Every structure is written in C-alpha cells, then in structure tokens.
Structure 1
Amino acid sequence: MTGPPDPDASQDAEVVAQSLDEPELFARLYDRYAPDIHRYATRRLGAGAADDITAETFLIAFRTRVRYDTDRPNARPWLYGIAGNLIGKQRRAEVRSLRALARTGHDPVAESWAERADARVTAQSAHAPLAGALVGLSAGDRHVLLLVAWADLTYTEVAEALGIPVGTVRSRLNRARRKVRSALGADPAFTLDTTEVV
C-alpha cells in the first residue's frame, strides 16, 4: 500500500510540460512513481515481469507526454493507466499466476512483505481461496479491485487511469467485492477490506 499523497504530485503537470523542452526533468516523475508502479506490477504479474512493465510504462509515458492532459495536476492515475494496459496485455500470465496461487497457496511476493510469522501463517491460509476468487473475476472487475486495493487509488483516480466513468468504477468494485466475498464463503454482511487482497 502506498503512503500518504505526495504534495509534489500537484506539480506533475508542470513537470510534464517542462520536460517537453528539458527532457531530463521527466526523471522526477520516474523517481516519484516508479517504486509504486513496480510494486503494483510485481503483485499483479510477479517480479520477473515487474521490471519490464515499469520500464515500459515510463518509456511510453515519456514518448507520449506531449499528449498529457495538463488539466490533471497529478500524473499518478495516468501512469497506472499505462501500466494497467501493459499488464492487460500479459493477462494470461496474471491468470496463470493466480491459478498457481489458488492451487498451492504460496505467494512469494506477499510472503516477503509479511513482517511477523503469525501474520504469514494467517495470510498464507487465505491466499489460495482469494487467488481463486480473483481468477473468477472479469479482467475489468479485477483491474478496478486491484487498483483500489494494491495501488491505493481513489475512485476518481481509477476512473482516470482506465478512462471510464466513476460510476462504472463503483459498480465494478461493488460487483468484484461481492463476487470475492461469495467465493470465499463469507457472510453477505461481511465487508471485504481490499487492502488485504492477496
């Protein structure tokens, strides 16, 4: 999960605009967002693909920065949108990874982040059924759920990232949460804490 909003994010549009004349300034966006994009790509596709997704995300962003909408001061949703499109192209790898997790219950990425042994044991027991539930979601529903849960984007940022209305984000997220709860056999009144998703 990401930390509090970066106050410099409100200046992202300025950085993008200035980078048209001074390309080296674009590195500020890389420095600010690459770790989060990498972490998100790692959780979606594994460490092997995360380096490539991160690098390609920023390469595409750099090449297309002339089309960046400077009315949007924060570039974070734009970058997650690019990363999401790249991840979508590797959807089969993501589904294979989730199916393997559903079969084995082993998630080396999440395990490496766990700080305590008891937390690992508890989390490990939930990984397999949760991964199976995620595989059962449509790509659009899964993408919205994971952008909220793992990238910590707001509904508005998810809408910007995916180029869909906020209402669609809400309905996809609601549907995804409902399906995950059902797949996990949870009481319908149970509220899924999406920060705990895999």
Structure 2
Amino acid sequence: MTTDLDDEELLARTARDPAAFEPLVVRHSAALHGYFARRAPAAADDLLAELWLRAYAARQGFDAARGPARAWLFGVARNVLSAHWRRLAQQHTGPPGAGRDDDPWEAVDARLDAAAVAPRLRALLTGLPPDERELLLLVAWEQLTPGEAAAAVGIPAGTARSRLHRARTRLRASAPLKLTGDLS
C-alpha cells in the first residue's frame, strides 16, 4: 500500500505509478496551504494548486541526497510564491522601483496573532537580510528543521544554521518581544 511508504519512496515510485503522488498531496497540503496563507492569503488556494502542478511535473528531479521530500516541497512552494510576487510587481503601475516588494510584509502584519507587537516585529523581521528572514520563518512558522529549511532555500545545512543563528541573535539584540510563536 503506497500510504505506508515514506515521502522519498513515494516520489521514487511515481515514475512507474503516478497515483503514488496522491499520498504526498494528502500529507502535505495543510502545511503548504498554511505557508501560502500566511504570505499571500487571497491567493493561497491558487498557489497551492500551482505548487502541486509544478511538484508533479518536477518530481523526477527530486534528489533525496539534497534533503527530504518535505523540504523539497517547501522549496517548490517558495518558488511558486516568488513567481506570484513577481507577477504582482509587473502588474503594478508607477515609476520604476515604486512597485511592490517581492516580500509583502504589510499583508503579514494584518494576520499576526500578536497584534500588539506586530509593528515592532515587522520592523525587526524586515531589517533581517531576506535569506535569514526566510530561514527563520521556515523554521518558526512552517516548523521545518534547519536542515529542511536549508534544502528549501537551496543552501548547505551548515550555512543555514549559521544564518539562522545570526537572525536569532539580531532579533534578541534588537529588543526582547513576548510572542506566542517560537522565533528562538
């Protein structure tokens, strides 16, 4: 039965049995939808559908040596989200440089549970380099391990751990926040 197989075995099996992809969709849709809903709530459903189309098309390119399937799926999700933001930026009218950033933090602010610290948290997160911020959010929000986050971002695990440590240190040094989420 394919549901008893781990994610990597399922991806390998899809080469000869495309139906083996279905358990991956069942296992990971909720977490991946959450990833999109926190970053682009109005488009989360469409982005999830796009993710599964892209992941299915690219399944032969999955390399277990680079990390687990879950991390690979979050890497595909990150690429889908980046493409979505680029499309939005291209639709923006106005002078060059006045377009939408490829990281829409104003939308994230509206959904933070800790509304009282949202402006401060936003400023702290926006002040982080994009790679450090993405790693921190993948670990804190999506509950990926640092190794899985590294695979999702496409960098070595040691580099990810170093950047994650730097991001946490910068946040702690800026000002202590009382948050419901675990950014430490």
Structure-2-length-normalised TM-score: 0.77
Q: How far 1:143 sits from its partner (Å)? A: 0.7
Match among 31, 49, 61 for residue 43 of structure 2: 49
**Does residue 145 of structure 1 match 2:131?**
no
| Structure 2 residues not aligned, in runs of 5+ | 87-99
Q: Which residue of 1 aligns with 2:103?
A: 95
Range moving further from structure 2, 143-152 or 169-178: 169-178
Deviation at 1:180, TM superposition (A): 2.5
Task: Name the aligned partner's letter for residue 103 of structure 2.
Answer: V
The 5 A counterparts of 1:117-136 are 123-136=114-127
Write the distance in 2 (CA, Å) between the matches of 1:172 and 1:48: 30
Residues 178/71 of structure 1: CA separation in 2 closer, same or farther (3 Å cut): closer
Q: Which of 2, 7, 18 in structure 2 is aligned with 1:12?
A: 7
Q: Per the alignment, do residues 70 and 144 of structure 1 end up closer, same or farther by CA in structure 2, a change over 3 Å counting?
A: closer
Task: Indicate the RMSD between aligned Cα atoms, in angstroms.
Answer: 2.8
Quick check: 1:107 aligned with 2:115? no
| Alpha-carbon offset, residue 67 of structure 1 | 1.6
Q: Which stretches of structure 1, 4 residues or longer, exceed 6 Å deviation after superposition?
A: none
- The equivalent position to 1:23 in structure 2, one of 18, 23, 30, is 18
- CA shift, 1:140, in A, is 0.7
Matched to 1:128, the amino acid is P
Q: Is the 8 A contact 2:66 2:151 kept in 1?
A: no
Q: Measure, in 2, the Cα distance between the counterparts of 1:79 and 1:145.
A: 17
Percent of counterpart pairs with the same letter? 37
How many pairs align? 167
| TM-score, with structure 1 as normaliser | 0.72
- Measured after TM superposition, the shift of residue 85 of structure 1 is 2.0
